Amino acid sequence: MKCSVYIATSVDGFIAKPDGDINWLHTAGNLEADMGTEDMGFNALMSSVDCMVMGRKTMQIISDMNLTPEQWFYGDMPIFVLSNTLHKAPDNLKEKVEMYSGDINDLVTLLSEKGYKHAYIDGGTTIQSFINLQLINEITITRIPVLLGEGIPLFGKTLKAIKLEKAAANAYVNDFVQVKYSVNYE
């Protein structure tokens, strides 16, 4: 099964402020820029994946948004939420996500056996776990033009050095810069 990451960070590598706040994502960059129909590759990613795995904290952030059905980003995509402490989804997501606690390799095997071929992996701790299990195939990072100074980093300690290759970069009129890499664990 192919596993892809698509995530935004501050230029100094943080996915959230120390308290988990991500509101800076909506206030940084050139807010006057006309992006037209540009979605920075999100729709292409969503059309290529057939399931999603996210962490509990990411699920909570999405739950707190209280999205209407029209605002829901993920359509009917099956979403699996990793948590060893929470066994029930928030009421506003209980029809949209399935909770999973257990071994990540077992989950990937289960998803493959169910016929899923490409998973979107989201959430800092979840991404880190998948990287350390050598399960991530590609990473797309959108750098948001802000320096937070401190916060929750995208990457923590890896079990070994990991090569990122075949870089493709795009700069957007809103001053965001996106780089996509293939991951080589050898």
Contact, 15 vs 132, CB < 8 A? no
End-to-end CA distance of the chain: 18
Task: Classify strands 51-55 and 163-171 as parallel, antiparallel or unpaired.
Answer: unpaired
pTM: 0.91
Dist. CA 84–CA 101, nearest whole Å? 5
Output the DSSP codes for 132-176: HTT---EEEEEEES---SSSEES----SS--EEEEEEEEE-TTS-
Q: Note the helical H segments in the chain.
A: 42-48, 56-64, 104-113, 124-132
Report the SS3 class of residue 7.
Answer: strand
Dihedral in degrees, nearest 10, Cα atoms 107, 112, 114, 117: 120
pLDDT string in tens for the chain (186-residue length): 999 999 999 999 999 999 988 989 989 988 888 888 878 888 899 999 999 999 999 999 999 988 988 888 898 999 999 999 988 999 999 999 999 999 999 999 999 999 999 999 999 999 999 999 999 999 999 999 999 999 999 998 888 899 999 999 999 999 999 999 999 998
